[in-house]
Amino acid sequence: MRFVLLVLLLPSLAQAYVENITHGYVNCMACHISQSGGGVLTDYGRSLSKELMSTWQGWNGIEKPLFGAIENSEKIKIGGNIRSIQTHLKNDSFKQGQAFIMQQNIEVAAQYMQLWVVATVGLQGGPSSSATKNDIISERHYISYDVNEESRLRVGKFRRNFGLNDPAHTRLTKSPLGFGSNSETYQLEFSKFSEQDEIFIATDLGDINDPKSKESEKSFLINYARYIGSDSKVGVNYLYGETGNNRRNLFGLYSVWKLPFEMFFKGEADYQQLLSADETIHLMASTLTLGYQGFKGFTPYLVSDFVQRDLSKHNTRTSLLGIGTQWLPLAHIEFQVEIQKRIDRTPRRIASNIAWMMFHFYL
Amino acid sequence: MKKLISIILFYSLTSNANVFVVDQGDIEFKAKGKPALISINGKSDHLTGKLTETDNGFSGEFDLDLNHLSTGIELRDEHLKKTYLKVDQYPQAKLQFSNLKVLKNQEIDFVASLTLHGQTKEINGNAIVSDKNTINAEFIINLADFSIDIPSFKGITVAKDVKIEVNASLKEMIK
């Protein structure tokens, strides 16, 4: 139980800053090789990490891999992440605090003509009690083909592009819906981009290592987003999923908006209908974040999350209010701190005070 | 005598003219970077200008100090000004109107002359002038027309067409 709670607290394992939409980067491809964001950076993305996102710019070439010790070539890009976290959780039942490494991997992307081959390899992170800790894993490995300037086709293992590609996968619109940590799956994906909008259509092949598993979900996903002006975005998406035990229809709306006074809003609301042989369960989840970008590299924010796992039962609700800040002092380095007040009604009301502090170094 | 007639004639011609100067104004440019379709917006509020209203319409010019253009990223501003606009050599952009027919609160098409990067070209745009003497004009320029190299940086290349918006609040000068 303690481990489960701890895992629920963990923040990002991906690397994508959707609020950069408010700076005119309405899709992810300027900065990331992955069309849905996260992972290995393009040279432009590295430059932006220094020029736009960091408090101090440091020296010439600091944004290059390993502070400039390694050069990306035109055809090969190097990435990788180390993330460590200190967590704290306190409620009536127990008090817990731990520090551990969440993620340690390297990622390489190689280009051949219109083809990108991308793969990560690393060690499974997590607290010392985790059975799989230090197992060798590859979170992502895929081949992406540039069909033309506007369209891409991708096959392999990567994260399903549903809702906001927010790094905080512990948000209540992520984990309860199956998009939490290590939820990358084998997919075939087509994406198309224009100056006004973008669309992703993907089919999930399920657990190819254990195709007979009743837990493995095969799914179809469509995600359409419209750009509002040059600095905001509204999206709608639908996923149909099927396992050996149930089927689900998942609908979602999401948005990132630039607001006056250097502020931004990002939010997502999802509704899921889960159908099994003997019942249908309706779930709703939302996450709302209001952030301030007035200090370069330093982004304080307020966050509100909500999920009701069964709309017919009040005692399946979880809600939280949080305040946090993200700070990127120099290229390659990120700190994030968040304090939350979380109320779980499952079925007993449990009020928890939660805090975590994350350190992130990207190669 | 001729001089006196000229002065009287000049006075009679100009006495009906209303002269407006830019009280507050800005210029914004909007460009797209490919292949990732990023939006690159730049802005400057260092806009000056004067328009004279006669029976034939508005004539005059807007001037922009390009040294104050900002896109929100310092390195990008540096590249824009030094490498592409060459503001050391060409610090001003000038938009000149001649006999612009204005119907207040209605969108009008106009032809004007734009001087940028040492090149002067005719441009076509549209504008709205409000009752309160604010003018909002927009037009598209092709960078090649002004001999500006297409900006490119680490895999992102700016599209050749750039949209420009001029927003100015005009103040009538006391005669």
Mean pLDDT split into 10-residue runs, chain A, 363 residues: 46 64 89 93 94 94 94 95 95 92 95 96 91 92 94 95 83 89 91 94 86 85 94 96 94 96 95 95 96 93 96 94 96 96 90 96 94
Mutate to test the interface with B, among A44, A46, A74, A258 (most CBs of B within 10 A): A44
CB A7 within 8 A of CB A13: no
* Distance separating alpha carbons of residues A115 and A93, to the nearest angstrom: 53
Q: What is the pLDDT averaged over residues B119-137? A: 92
DSSP result, A99-115? EEEEEEEEEEEEEETTE
| Other beta carbons within 10 Å of A93 | 12
* Distance separating alpha carbons of residues A150 and A51, to the nearest angstrom: 27
B11, pLDDT greater than 60: no
Q: What is the pLDDT averaged over residues B115-120? A: 95
Which residue numbers of B have CB closer than 8 Å to A's CBs? 30, 32-41, 72-76, 153-156
* Distance separating alpha carbons of residues A125 and A133, to the nearest angstrom: 5
Cross-chain residue pair A194–B37, CB shorter than 8 Å = yes
- Chain A, residues 213-252, CB within 8 A of chain B, namely 230-231
CATH entry 1.10.3720.10 includes domain A2-362: no
ipTM: 0.78
Tell me if chain B has a CB within 8 Å of the CB of A30.
Answer: yes
Tell me if chain B has a CB within 8 Å of the CB of A194.
Answer: yes
Cross-chain residue pair B36–A149, CB shorter than 8 Å = no
Cα A313 to Cα A175, A307, A342, A347, B58: the distances in Å are 20, 12, 19, 9, 69
Partners of A44 on chain B (C-beta within 8 Å) are 36, 153-156
Q: State residue A223's pLDDT score.
A: 97
CB A47 within 8 A of CB B153: yes
Which chain B residue shows the shortest CA-CA distance from A150? B35
CB B51 within 8 A of CB B58: yes
Q: State residue B15's pLDDT score.
A: 52
* Distance separating alpha carbons of residues A75 and B141, to the nearest angstrom: 34
Name the residue among B37, B154, B155 with its Cβ closest to that of A195: B37
DSSP result, A162-186? -S---S-TTSTTTGGGT-STT--EE
Q: State residue A191's pLDDT score.
A: 97
Cross-chain residue pair A230–B41, CB shorter than 8 Å = yes
Q: State residue B85's pLDDT score.
A: 94
Structural domains in chain B plus CATH codes: 17-172 (2.40.128.110)
Name the residue among B36, B76, B154 with its Cβ closest to that of A27: B36
**How far off is chain B from A225, nearest CA to CA, in Å?**
14
**How far off is chain B from A356, nearest CA to CA, in Å?**
31
**How far off is chain B from A27, nearest CA to CA, in Å?**
7
Tokens 């949080």 correspond to: A322
How many whole angstroms from its chain centre is CA A225?
17
In chain A, where the domains are located:
2-362
CB A309 within 8 A of CB A283: yes
Exposure pattern of A183-192 as b/e (b: 16+ CB <10 Å)? bbbbbebebe
Token pair, residue A68, equals 């400039």
Cα A49 to Cα A62, A70, A122, A199, A226: the distances in Å are 10, 17, 23, 26, 25
Cross-chain residue pair B74–A51, CB shorter than 8 Å = yes
Name the residue among B34, B40, B75 with its Cβ closest to that of A51: B75
**How far off is chain B from A25, nearest CA to CA, in Å?**
5
Amino acid letter for position A47: S
* Distance separating alpha carbons of residues A363 and A46, to the nearest angstrom: 10
Cross-chain residue pair A44–B155, CB shorter than 8 Å = yes
- Where does residue B70 rank: exposed (0-12), middle (13-18), buried (19+ CB within 10 A)? middle
Q: State residue B47's pLDDT score.
A: 94
Mutate to test the interface with B, among A33, A47, A146, A193 (most CBs of B within 10 A): A47
- Region of A303 on the Ramachandran plot (φ > 0 left; ψ -120 to 50 alpha; else beta): beta
**How far off is chain A from B161, nearest CA to CA, in Å?**
13
* Distance separating alpha carbons of residues A189 and A147, to the nearest angstrom: 12
Which chain A residue shows the shortest CA-CA distance from B76? A51
| Other beta carbons within 10 Å of A240 | 14
Q: State residue B3's pLDDT score.
A: 57
Partners of A23 on chain B (C-beta within 8 Å) are 72
Main-chain phi, psi angles of B168, to 5 degrees: -140, 140
Residue B116 host element (H or E): strand B107-116
**How far off is chain B from A238, nearest CA to CA, in Å?**
24
DSSP result, A228-296? ETTTEEEEEEEEEEE-SSEEEEEEEEEEEEEETTTEEEEEEEEEEEEEESS-EEEEEEEEEEEEE--BT
Amino acid letter for position A277: A
Cross-chain residue pair A149–B34, CB shorter than 8 Å = yes
How does the average pLDDT of chain B come out, rounded?
Answer: 88
* Distance separating alpha carbons of residues B162 and A14, to the nearest angstrom: 35
Cα A286 to Cα A147, A177, A191: the distances in Å are 35, 11, 25
Which chain A residue shows the shortest CA-CA distance from B32? A195
**How far off is chain B from A253, nearest CA to CA, in Å?**
23
Mutate to test the interface with A, among B29, B30, B39 (most CBs of A within 10 A): B39
Q: State residue B175's pLDDT score.
A: 61
With the CA atoms of A34, A39, A41 and A46 taken in that order, what torsion angle do they form, in degrees rounded to the nearest 10? 140
Which chain B residue shows the shortest CA-CA distance from A151? B35
